[in-house]
Amino acid sequence: MNYIPEGLRRLWHRMGSPRWFYETTGSWVPWLGVAAALLIGVGTVWGLAYAPPDYLQGNSFRIIYIHVPAAYLAQAGYMLMAVCGVVLLVWRMKLADMVMATVAPIGAAFTFLALVTGAIWGKPTWGTYWIWDARITSVLILLFLYLGIMGLRRAIERPEAAGRACAILAIVGVINIPIIQYSVDWWMTLHQPATFTITEAPAMPASMWIPLLLNVLGFNLLFALSVIQGTRTEVLVRERRTRWVTELCRQER
């Protein structure tokens, strides 16, 4: 294991301490908040007001500035939960469980946002709010997977057992996600009504994709901020019997 750089190894050991995480990320939160607000603000205003209208879809394409980051984060969130699950089961890192517990509702919210913005986009583009095509159906199933993990965590009372159960479910789920996506995609190619095609954005001019990039970065930071804040809360809740937490609460008062 001596090919792993010393700094990384030290970081890994430090992450075994929820307290270290709490104290280190304390100073990050305001910076993340400012950066996320800035990027999302600039990206959204530029995208909604200043980017040129699409030659096919007119102004309705502008929802991609929210839809694309949401859909991407929905998928990435589940991957993150699976990684946390592996870390929890293999290395028994408590922090991994706390992150996984936080990511589940946030990822589910982004999935829901992706579905809703997709439906809003669908109405002017395809004439209908909902259509059973490959991507929408896959995202819907992803939402069910998220809800399953949230339900399982809530149903098991002891946090340690709940964490390990959710870890197993997340790993089984993440292996199944590509299988589900490929099979749904294949099913839809057999049954796709020939009346419409998914409008893929062709090469976008810089005035269109730069705000998209800004929004993607901004939403990533927003996701990171939410996860960090949620994990900090989870740390305080789970470590509430330790001295450093009681000291902290006494000082805050």
Partner 1 sequence: MTSSPVTEPSLWVLFRGQLRRDLLLAFGQPSELANPLAFFVVVITLFPLGVSPEPDVLASMAPGVLWIAALLATLLGLEALFRRDRDDGTLEQMVLQAQPLYLPVVARMLAHWMVTGLPLTLLAPLLGGMLNLRPEAQLPLMIGLALGTPVLVLLGGVGAALTVGLRTGGMLLALLVLPLFVPVLILGVSAAELASSGLDPSGPLLWLAAGASFAITTVPFAIAGALRIGVEVG
Closest separation between CB of residue 223 and partner 1, Å? 23
Q: Which residue has the tokens 């990435």?
A: 76
Q: Tell me, by CB under 8 A, how many residues bind partner 1.
A: 29
Distance CA 104, CA 108 (A): 6
Closest distance of CB 238 from partner 1, Å: 18
Among 13, 132, 151, 247, binds partner 1 (CB under 8 A): 151
Residue linked to tokens 């589910």? 108
Give Cα 235 distance to the centre of its chain: 20
165 binds partner 1, rule: CB under 8 A: yes
**Under the phi-then-psi rule, with left for phi > 0, alpha for psi from -120 to 50, and beta for the rest, what region is 92?**
left
Contact pattern for partner 1 over residues 182 through 221, marking x by CB under 8 A? xxx-xx--x-------------------------------
Nearest to partner 1 of 109, 224 (CB atom): 109
- 140: Cβ contacts below 8 Å, ≥ 6 apart: 115
CB-based burial, 143-179: b 16+ in 10 Å, e otherwise: bebbeebbebbeeeeebeebbbbbbebbbebbeebee
Out of 16, 33, 148, 159, point to the residue binding partner 1 (CB under 8 A).
148
Does 89 bind partner 1 (CB under 8 A)? Our answer is yes
Q: Is 236 in the site for partner 1 (CB under 8 A)?
A: no
Selected from 68, 83, 147, 210, the binder of partner 1 by CB under 8 A is: 147
The overall longest dimension of the chain from CA atoms, in Å, is 66
Distance in Å, CB of 137 to partner 1, minimum:
9
Q: Taking CB under 8 A as the rule, which mask of x and - marks residues 113-142 in contact with partner 1?
A: ----------------------------x-
Residue 179 binds partner 1, judged by CB under 8 A: yes
SS3 15: coil
d(CA 25, CA 21): 6
Binder among 122, 173, 218, 230 for partner 1 (CB under 8 A): 173
| Consecutive H or E run containing 173 | helix 159-191
Verify binding: residue 174, partner 1, rule CB under 8 A. Answer: no
Q: Does 161 bind partner 1 (CB under 8 A)?
A: yes
